[in-house]
Amino acid sequence: METQDVIINKEKLVKTIYDLDSVKCLQDDKNCELLLNFLLNGPLTFEDIKEAFKTVNAQKSDKTIYGYLNRLKKAHLVMEAGKRIITYSESHIKTLTLYSRTAKVFYIALDLSGDEEEDKVDDYFTVVGRITCQLLSFKKFDEACFRKFYDETTQKKRIDIEKINNISNPEILDLVATFDVRATKYILDTVCWLAYIGEHPEIYQEMIKCFTK
C-alpha cells in the first residue's frame, strides 16, 4: 500500500479575522477549537480527525464531526486542502479529502473587550493613559484625543499583519499558534506596534499632542 498527499490549497501563516461568527468559532466552541488544534501539525482526513477526538476521550459521531467541519469551513477557518491518494494495487485506488486550517495563526481584527462591561473597558483605557503620562513625565492626558490616536493607529498597523505572510522563516509562528486567541492577538498587536513605530518615528510626535505638562 502506498500513500500520497496532494496539497492544492496551502494554509497561510496569518489570517486576519473581521467576522464575528468566525470569532465565536474560535472562542466559544471548544470542540471546534479542538479540531483546529488537531490540524496544527498539518492536513488530516476525516478519519484522522475522528481518531484524534478519540485520543482526547471526546469520541464524536460522523454527523457531529461533519457539523464541526462545515461550521469551520463556513467561518473560513478550515478548508479542503487536497487529497490523500491510497494505492492498494493498480486496480484499487482510494481517494480521501484532506482538511487543513486556512492559516497557522488567526489574528482577530476586532475589539475583544466588547463582551466586557463598558465601564471596565473605559477603566482599562484610563489606566493605559495614566501610566503613559507617568512614563513620559506628563501630568495629564486628553482621553478623547488619546483614544482617537490609538484607534487610528491600530487600524493602520493592522495592515502590517499581512506582511507576516512574507517572512522567510515561517517556523517562528509555530509557537504563536499554540496560544489561545486572546494571547495571539496581544502578541501580534505588540509585534505590529513595534514594527509600525520603528518605521514611523513621527508617530511619537502625534501621540504626545494628547498629553500636557
Q: Could you report the per-residue pLDDT of 24-69, keeping only the tens digit for each?
A: 888 778 899 899 989 988 899 999 999 999 999 989 999 999 999 9
3-state helix, strand, coil in the chain (%, to 5): 60, 20, 20
| Measured distance CA(27)–CA(172) in Å, rounded | 23
Arithmetic mean of pLDDT, 100-109: 86
Q: Could you report the per-residue pLDDT of 181-205, keeping only the tens digit for each?
A: 667 777 777 777 767 777 778 888 8
Cell of 98: 484532506
Place 85 in a pLDDT band, splitting at 50, 70 and 90: very high
| Measured distance CA(122)–CA(143) in Å, rounded | 10
Q: What is the CA 84 to chain-centroid distance, rounded?
A: 27
Q: How far is CA 181 from CA 23, 44, 111, 120, 206, in A?
A: 9, 22, 12, 20, 31
Grid cell 464524536 in the structure block, residue: 60
Where do the structural domains in the chain lie, given as residue ranges?
2-107, 111-212
With CA atoms as reference, report the closest residue to 65 among 84, 37, 46: 46
Amino acid of residue 31: N
Contact 178, 128 (CB under 8 A): no
Mean pLDDT of the chain: 82
Q: How far is CA 50 from CA 2, 42, 94, 120, 175, in A?
A: 22, 15, 18, 42, 25
Whole-prediction pTM value? 0.67
CATH annotation of 2-107: 1.10.10.10
More confidently predicted of 198 and 101: 101
